[in-house]
């Protein structure tokens, strides 16, 4: 039995090593929008080039600062469509005030506020809000973003230059996360490890690859492509609508790209470890398409691959060697990610703790959804039966 466990540990470490080496080799190939060539001015244009669509439900803490960061963009002609999606706080009042204060003579920063008071049957709030705004959008590019994302003044200029240079149909720009606590750094680091090793964003540009990408903070898509794949009209009950939109675009054969741009987009996604876990309660079970057995099986795999090698540290020397090697590989991976997330490489030592919390978050997502027979998000309940009926695959 001991020999079997030792062989298993080495196989786990080998699997991790192969994935990590792939990331170490390929992540530096992902473009960086801070390259000076993406800062070239655009030709003058009188009409909006991008329709920026911002759904907002109870976002009074961030919405004004986020909007003003968009209004400060002068390098690209844009129109902003922000949706007050049944907010019960002061979001709607703030939006109306900002709109009233906006200099409407400056056609480069048109701001339209759409107030939604009722959610039609068969819709989740966020896809409905974005679909509603997209119907009113006039620009050849649509940018779907979130109400807590802050834009640098040159962010959209660099994004458009890159997308046009690459002849992209869909472009995702990775945001820089605002991290203010130990727990936020620890959970962000492991979340990005699994996200990047799983999604392999360096492969989304390959039309032969099954890898696709989507991100709620920054989904820039050609309007004609958005409409060709059905847009959010086709994703009415989709919880992870950003990922599914990216899949639909890639599956339809359109050109998809992703890039880094440190500091161009900023947001604080979670305020501490507990907030991180609460944030993903809605999403993790949805990633498994609300299927219980695959979700539980994934938790078992995570336990085996993320925790069992480190449990061997308490054993004899032959068992400690693969665990130490895995920690060493994690150090190299975390050092690579430090370039993008500003989480010190020393956080690789927190990997076993963070992995335990991540597994707990997946289990919590499953159990809370099953016990409640659905999910409650932003004050609205969505039945599990309807979510399952509408859930399609997330991979090609």
Say how far apart CA 163 and CA 161 lie, in whole Å: 6
Number of H helices, E strands in the chain: 14, 12
Q: Answer whether residue 291 shows pLDDT above 90.
A: yes
Where is pLDDT greater, at 361 or 341?
361
pLDDT at 104: 52
Residue 41 in 3-state DSSP?
coil
pLDDT at 177: 93
Per domain, the residue ranges of the chain are 2-27+273-390, 31-175+215-267
Q: Answer whether residue 335 shows pLDDT above 70.
A: yes
Read off the pLDDT of residues 7-46 as tens digits, 9 standing for 90 and up.
777 888 899 999 999 999 999 999 999 999 999 999 998 8
Residue with tokens 């439900």: 57
Say how far apart CA 54 and CA 75 lie, in whole Å: 19
Say how far apart CA 30 and CA 336 lie, in whole Å: 13
Q: Answer whether residue 103 shows pLDDT above 80.
A: no
pLDDT range class, residue 187, cuts 50, 70, 90: very high
Nearest CA to 231 out of 219, 217, 245, 214 is that of 245
Read off the pLDDT of residues 378-388 as tens digits, 9 standing for 90 and up.
889 999 999 99
Q: Answer whether residue 298 shows pLDDT above 60.
A: yes
Mean pLDDT for 345-367 is 94
pLDDT range class, residue 107, cuts 50, 70, 90: very low
Class for the domain spanning 31-175+215-267 = alpha beta
pLDDT range class, residue 106, cuts 50, 70, 90: low
């Amino acid at each position: 039995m001991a020999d079997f466990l030792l062989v298993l540990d080495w196989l786990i470490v080998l699997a991790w090593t192969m994935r990590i080496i792939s990331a170490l080799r390929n992540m530096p190939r992902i473009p960086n929008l801070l390259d000076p060539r993406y800062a070239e001015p655009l030709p003058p244009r009188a009409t909006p080039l991008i329709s920026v669509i911002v759904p907002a439900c109870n976002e009074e803490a961030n919405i004004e600062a986020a909007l003003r960061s968009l209004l400060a963009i002068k390098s690209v002609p844009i129109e902003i469509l922000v949706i007050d999606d049944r907010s019960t706080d002061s979001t709607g009042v703030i939006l109306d005030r900002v709109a009233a204060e906006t200099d409407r003579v400056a056609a480069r920063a048109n701001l339209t506020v759409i107030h939604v008071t009722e959610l039609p049957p068969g819709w989740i709030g966020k896809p409905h809000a974005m679909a509603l705004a997209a119907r009113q959008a006039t620009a050849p590019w649509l940018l779907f973003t979130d109400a807590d994302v802050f834009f640098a003044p040159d962010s959209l200029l660099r994004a458009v230059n890159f997308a046009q240079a690459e002849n992209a149909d869909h472009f995702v720009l990775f945001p820089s996360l605002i991290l203010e606590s130990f727990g936020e750094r620890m959970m962000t680091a492991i979340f990005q490890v699994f996200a990047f090793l799983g999604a392999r964003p360096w492969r989304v540009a390959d039309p032969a690859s099954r890898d696709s990408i989507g991100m709620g903070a920054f989904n820039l898509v050609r309007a004609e492509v958005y409409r060709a794949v059905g847009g959010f009209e086709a994703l009415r009950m989709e919880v992870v609508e950003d990922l599914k939109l990216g899949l639909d675009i890639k599956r339809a054969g359109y050109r998809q790209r992703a890039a880094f741009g440190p500091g161009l987009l900023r947001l604080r996604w979670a305020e501490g470890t507990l907030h991180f876990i609460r944030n993903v309660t809605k999403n993790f079970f949805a990633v498994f398409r609300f299927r219980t057995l695959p979700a539980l099986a994934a938790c078992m795999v995570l336990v085996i691959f993320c925790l069992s090698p480190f449990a061997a540290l308490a054993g004899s020397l032959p068992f400690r060697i693969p665990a130490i090697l895995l920690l060493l590989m994690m150090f190299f991976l975390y050092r690579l990610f430090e370039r993008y997330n500003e989480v010190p490489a020393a956080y690789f030592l927190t990997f076993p703790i963070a992995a335990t919390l991540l597994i707990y978050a997946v289990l919590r997502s499953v159990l809370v959804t099953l016990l409640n027979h659905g999910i409650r998000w932003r004050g609205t309940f969505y039945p599990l039966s309807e979510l399952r009926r509408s859930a399609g695959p997330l991979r090609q």
